[in-house]
Amino acid sequence: MPLDPPTRPALLDRLRETPGYWDVVVVGGGATGLGTAVDAAARGYSTLLLEASDFGKGTSSRSTKLVHGGVRYLQQGDVRLVLDALRERGHLIRNAPHLVHDQPFVVPCYKRWERAYYGVGLKLYDWLAGKLGFGRSRLLSAAETLAHLPTVNPDGLRGGVLYHDGQFDDSRLAVNLAQTVADLGGVPLNYMRVTRLMKQEGKVRGVVAEDMETGDAHEVLARVVVNATGVFTDGVRRMDDPAAAPVIRPSQGVHLVLDRDFLPGDSALMLPHTDDGRVLFAVPWHGRVVVGTTDTPVDRIDLEPVPLDDEVAFLLEHAGRYLTRQPTEADVLSTFAGLRPLVSEGGGKRTASISRDHWLTVSDSGLVTIAGGKWTTYRKMGEDAVDAAAKTAGLERRPAVTMHRRLHGWLSGPPTDPALTVYGDDAPALRQLADEMPGGVEPLHPGLPYCRAMVTWAARHELARTVDDVLARRTRALLLDARASIEAAPEVAALLAAELGHDKEWEAGQVEAFVEIARGYVVGDVPSTTEPIAA
């Protein structure tokens, strides 16, 4: 694979210089849109992806960080969804081993019947995974459960069940998918907002897109347009048909990030039943513990949803029931919210009961819309969307090839630098940049596991354009420690400005914009930046 995907200016040049029709234009740069663009480009179709903000900016960077079949869906009897997800989980760890790994989970059992009940269910989970499984489940004694989960509440503990699922870094996968689109000859563009669908004789034949950095408008001709905009799906559908009935019922999921001391060891904690009927996870991730999630129906769709006080309290209370140390608001390093793009054509059902399967439709004008689903099945969703798009546009029929397609960064063996594992086979080049760049190896902040060179790398090689791009998605600083990220923002702004050619006024505006975003991740008072930048 090419080491360096094109820069955004180079991608814009390709957009301007491409004559005639693109085979496939994908609207939306989250998991589904990126998966669709990779599939289309891998089949050899000329492919353009347009994202109004940054890749993975919305729901796709705010998951529970699990690549999983869905134990809860098995409990609900949705065996087909679980089977499909387990297969995709197996393919993903092979296609992106630098980002996806096996994660052991333990279900602590406090009632006599629980070990047998959950043990049987998880054996079925193993069986459905087949040869693509990550490991076999087994029953644990109380002592073994405590060995895996040293801080789990020992009072009344009768044992547990160990099983295996996958863990990943969601926004890093989004970045690698965008790079893979470019590696395959496609054009992935962030900060390019579609404002209108163009039609000829009643059929969708392209889009008008606004460059959010310059304000320039681009008319783009397309043989087929795919709407893969997640929670914003209905907005694009109404561009096609103002009378289109809404199908998205967004549900907010909130997570808390705690210090690793709350759950030391390598195993994650899974609680099969909370007060609202959801599964609760406490998962080791990047040296922290991620606790989640909630399921709160919401009416308002925001690019930056904010956790509700009740949701934070719910997670703290439930975590405290099962841990020896009760977490408080003061212990929360960061809290983040994501909106699930649940599809409900029938209405009236609570969001926890709505299927997480995906939904695909083609309008009378030929707009292909794909919605729903989850990260684990992103590849299959992309394949289904391109199948429908090719048929709709009458494109030459070409089979999907992404099931075994290695993604950008694929690493054949153990990483030579564990601190740079998520960069995959780009890590040696990043290490070289860090060594050559003045102060490149210096940390951005003493409380964050990132160095200054990672900021320059993100701008130079990963299409990062803003402080938020770097601290929220190219690194995961905002999720690991929101206060530390705010304090690091001025340094990040200065490094970005130097790389992208911006002035002090831009730096100051970037810091201000990031602090406003980061407020939603902080529980309690928001710190000021350590070194304010004069405009």
Give me the amino acid identity at 105. Answer: F
* Distances from the Cα of 87 to the Cα of 39, 133, 404, angstroms: 17, 8, 12
Rounded to the nearest integer, the mean pLDDT of the chain is 93
> Tens of pLDDT along 306-335?
999 999 999 999 999 999 999 999 999 999
Residue 441 has pLDDT above 60, yes or no: yes
Percentage of the chain with pLDDT > 70? 95
- Report the 10 Å Cβ neighbour count for 132: 16
Q: Where in the chain is the domain with CATH 3.50.50.60?
A: 14-59+171-247+352-393
Residue 277 has pLDDT above 50, yes or no: yes
pLDDT of residue 37: 98
pLDDT of residue 525: 75
Q: What CATH number should be reported for the domain whose range is 101-165+249-342?
A: 3.30.9.10
Whether pTM > 0.75 for this model: the answer is: yes
The Cα–Cα gap between 138 and 123 comes to 8
pLDDT of residue 357: 77
* Cα angle 122, 124, 126; round to 5: 70
Q: When comparing pLDDT for 415 and 410, which is higher? A: 410
pLDDT of residue 414: 81
Residue 530 has pLDDT above 50, yes or no: no
> Tens of pLDDT along 187-207?
999 999 999 999 999 999 999
> Tens of pLDDT along 95-127?
999 999 999 999 999 999 999 999 999 999 999
> Tens of pLDDT along 215-233?
999 999 999 999 999 999 9
Percentage of the chain with pLDDT > 90? 86
pLDDT of residue 2: 43
Residue 23 has pLDDT above 80, yes or no: yes
We find that the CATH architecture of domain 14-59+171-247+352-393 is: 3-Layer(bba) Sandwich (3.50)
If you search the block for the tokens 């990943």, which residue do you land on?
A: 168
pLDDT of residue 353: 40
Q: Does domain 418-521 have CATH number 1.50.40.10?
A: no
> Tens of pLDDT along 365-377?
999 999 999 999 9
Residue 256 has pLDDT above 50, yes or no: yes
pLDDT of residue 534: 37
The Cα–Cα gap between 533 and 535 comes to 6
> Tens of pLDDT along 331-359?
999 999 999 999 986 544 443 444 457 89
Residue 426 has pLDDT above 50, yes or no: yes
> Tens of pLDDT along 169-185?
999 999 999 999 999 99
Query: Could you tell me which of 158, 375, 376, 160 has the C-alpha nearest to residue 269?
Result: 160
Q: Where in the chain is the domain with CATH 1.10.8.870?
A: 418-521
By residue count, the chain amounts to 535
pLDDT of residue 346: 52
